Amino acid sequence: MYDLIDKKRYGGKLTCEEIDFIVKGFTDGDIPDYQMAAFLMAVCLNGMDKEETVRLTLAMAHSGDMLDLSPIKGVKVDKHSTGGVGDKTTLVIGAMVAALGIPVAKMSGRGLGHTGGTIDKLESIPGFNTSISTDKFFEDVNRLKFAVAGQTANLAPADKKIYALRDVTATVSSLPLIASSIMSKKLASGADVIVLDVKTGSGAFMKTLKDSVALAAAMVQIGNGAGRKTYGVITDMNQPLGRAVGNTLEVIEAINALKGNAPEDLMEDALVLGQYMVYGAGAADSPEEARKMLEKTIEDGSALKKFAEMVEAQGGDPSYIYDTDKFEKAKFVEPALSPADGYVRTIKTDDVGIASLILGGGRETKEDVIDHAVGLIIEKKIGDEVKKGEPLAYIHANDKEKLEAAKERLISAYTIGEKPEKLPLHVYGTVTEDKIVFEQEGLSEEACPGGVNLFGDH
């Protein structure tokens, strides 16, 4: 290990055998934390090329169970978001794509920190059970084309161990390390088609378009390099997605979206990601055709029906889907008022997530218990005109003290300016195996100064 640290320290390229030795040795406990930490820092400083990153990802993916989804018939599609505030897209897309007969076998995580998890959101529905056996998971996907399960398998244990070390050694923000971390879990989850929602902006892991595009490009190359059809869509996280933040509130917003009443940004996110899931599965001749098919699942009610069927199959009460007034409500609902006249310029999206966390809607540690009913409904988004004393958002709380703290956090997340703002785009661009397509002129130069490099190390 000493020699390999030294090699990477001087920018050398590691062989496949060397990378496998490091990952296996560290996972088995033969390589101590201090040597792995030194190695990770050398990677942060000197990087890894495409071949090294693909091998690192495969070694981490194979460090635990590799899920075999072959008992599920058809092309299995998966979707992954790098994490955002108010991101309930999985609930909407899963139902839409499954309504087209395409199997969505979704393994989801719980939320930690300012971003929420799909599993926590679904558990807002009384009776809903995400701890289902692998057999039931396969059976439900074969029968209904849609199931959502918590991660029970031992997926990519090397990543868990490496991530814990990165977290305390200032080695998280390294493109090959982030890309291999995310993709090792995706490859281990077994889907044939992977669509990545790479968020960019104030609430995202990657704050700049340049970093987000680089991450998307690297992950798409890794996925395709490992034989999975992979697409990356770069979408906005400069403000919460939709208007609801908090578990029950987000589920209600997702159900309303399936009923045809979606905020524009949420439906755009769902359609763009969904179109690559459907196209990637071979069910449409073009992404544009796939989009039309998905829109139809909303118009004819088949996506809503699919969602209710999935909920019922996993022990949830489907009557809540048809009558969202049945969901338990928070005791207090109060507005957070604008301190000034003007237009919303920016929203510190992380802070909106933290406001929800303060209310009890998220977890600071793994042991925290979530209060599903609390959260926020955002009234004013970027570009909106606002008068002093008008609500920026409504806070749903079960505790007065937490309500006041969340209100303060929410108000301080906003900057109000005198002039109307240019609205952020919903979608910035899409990365496929061989190209990056940007949604607007000028973005290519911003994201890839000096030219597009598909492995992302611009």
| Residue among 174, 181, 338, 356 flagged as catalytic | 181
3-state DSSP call for residue 110?
Answer: coil
| Residue among 106, 166, 291, 396 flagged as catalytic | 166
For residues 231 and 194, give the distance between their C-alpha atoms in angstroms, rounded to a whole number.
Answer: 6
Q: Is 80 one of the catalytic residues?
A: yes
Closer by beta carbon to ligand URA, 21 or else 163: 163
Closer by beta carbon to ligand URA, 145 or else 185: 185
| C-beta neighbour count of 248 within 10 angstroms | 25
For residues 278 and 273, give the distance between their C-alpha atoms in angstroms, rounded to a whole number.
Answer: 9
Give the number of C-alpha atoms closer than 13 A to the C-alpha of residue 123, restricted to the C-beta side. Answer: 20
Closer by beta carbon to ligand URA, 159 or else 309: 159
| Residue among 8, 55, 110, 185 flagged as catalytic | 185
| Residue among 120, 159, 197, 269 flagged as catalytic | 159
Q: Are the C-beta atoms of 88 and 111 separated by less than 8 Å?
A: no
Residue 333, beta-bridge partner list: 396
Q: Total residues at the site for ligand URA (CB under 6 A)?
A: 6
Closer by beta carbon to ligand URA, 207 or else 305: 207
Name the one range near ligand URA by CB under 6 A: 176-184, 209-217, 319-327, 376-384: 176-184
3-state DSSP call for residue 392?
Answer: strand
Asked if 128 interacts with ligand URA (CB under 6 A), we say no
CB of 202 to ligand URA, least distance (A): 17
| C-beta neighbour count of 317 within 10 angstroms | 14
Choose which of 40, 69, 92, 178 interacts with ligand URA (CB under 6 A): 178
315: its two tokens: 């022990």
Phi, psi of 205 (to 5 degrees): -65, -45
Closer by beta carbon to ligand URA, 186 or else 229: 186
Whole-number CA gyration radius for the chain: 22
For residues 229 and 434, give the distance between their C-alpha atoms in angstroms, rounded to a whole number.
Answer: 12
432: its two tokens: 């496929």
Strand order in the sheet with 342-347: 385-386, 342-347, 414-417
Asked if 181 interacts with ligand URA (CB under 6 A), we say yes
CB of 272 to ligand URA, least distance (A): 21
Asked if 182 interacts with ligand URA (CB under 6 A), we say yes
Choose which of 26, 205, 276, 438 interacts with ligand URA (CB under 6 A): 205
CB of 178 to ligand URA, least distance (A): 4
CB of 336 to ligand URA, least distance (A): 30
Q: For tokens 């291999």, name the residue.
A: 180
The DSSP element (H or E) to which 319 belongs, if any, is helix 319-322
Q: Report the candidate in 315, 328, 318, 305 with the shortest Cα–Cα distance to residue 258.
A: 305
CB of 309 to ligand URA, least distance (A): 31
* Cβ-based neighbours of 270, under 8 Å, separated by 6 or more: 89, 92, 93, 96, 257, 262, 294
Name the one range near ligand URA by CB under 6 A: 40-48, 85-93, 130-138, 174-182: 174-182
Closer by beta carbon to ligand URA, 166 or else 380: 166
Q: Is 426 one of the catalytic residues?
A: no
For residues 110 and 259, give the distance between their C-alpha atoms in angstroms, rounded to a whole number.
Answer: 26
Q: Is 319 one of the catalytic residues?
A: no
Closer by beta carbon to ligand URA, 26 or else 205: 205
Name the one range near ligand URA by CB under 6 A: 38-46, 175-183, 286-294, 310-318: 175-183
Name the one range near ligand URA by CB under 6 A: 19-27, 36-44, 177-185, 435-443: 177-185
Q: Which single residue brings its beta carbon nearest to ligand URA?
A: 181
For residues 45 and 3, give the distance between their C-alpha atoms in angstroms, rounded to a whole number.
Answer: 17
| Residue among 80, 88, 161, 199 flagged as catalytic | 80
* Cβ-based neighbours of 401, under 8 Å, separated by 6 or more: none
CB of 26 to ligand URA, least distance (A): 15
CB of 147 to ligand URA, least distance (A): 22
The DSSP element (H or E) to which 196 belongs, if any, is strand 193-200
CB of 174 to ligand URA, least distance (A): 8
Closer by beta carbon to ligand URA, 287 or else 456: 456
For residues 339 and 73, give the distance between their C-alpha atoms in angstroms, rounded to a whole number.
Answer: 56
* Residue ranges in contact with ligand URA by CB under 6 A: 163, 177-178, 181-182, 205
The catalytic residue positions are: 80, 159, 166, 181, 185
